[in-house]
Amino acid sequence: MSDKCDLCLLGLIILCSLLTGTSGVDDAHVFISSDEDVRLPCNNALSDCTSTTWIYSSFRHSEAVELINGGKKKKDTERHERLSLGSDCSLNIKNVTEEDPGFYICRQYVNDKQQGNDARVSLHVLHANFMSMWLT
């Protein structure tokens, strides 16, 4: 039963990587299970993470939320306690939930001017529905 689930998840990951490879956009895609910890890379990171800003928008809504500004967590976000900034400016999220999937953007600033391009990461949370597999 779990072998069938693993095979389905592997197929989904391969399909997503093939489809996103044709888009011409250099986004990173991260796949994780619920309740796991995840590290989202900031591929355009400068040596000093105090210039780092992380922005989030869900797949369903276009409204963006600033999670990290100037290397510091914004305290008014719902995930404040689960977020941390890595030494390489990556965004670490503890105990991923169903609310976390979406687009994450890492931006670097020097003297209030953006440096380089945005580093974009799409976070996908995988859910294995064992009951539906049992019934089929």
3-state secondary structure 3-42: HHHHHHHHHHHHHHHHHHHCCCCCCEEEEEECCCCEEECC
Is the per-residue pLDDT at 129 higher than 80?
A: no
pLDDT in tens, 107-123: 998 888 888 889 999 99
Count of C-beta atoms within a 10 Å radius of residue 99: 10
The CATH code for residues 22-126 is: 2.60.40.10
Torsion of CA 111, 55, 68, 36, to 10 degrees: -150
Mean pLDDT value across the chain: 79
- Other residues' Cβ atoms within 10 Å of the Cβ of residue 36: 12
- Tell me the per-residue pLDDT of 42-67, one tens digit each, with 9 for 90 and over: 987 777 889 999 999 998 877 899 99
Distance between CA atoms of residues 84 and 62, nearest Å? 24
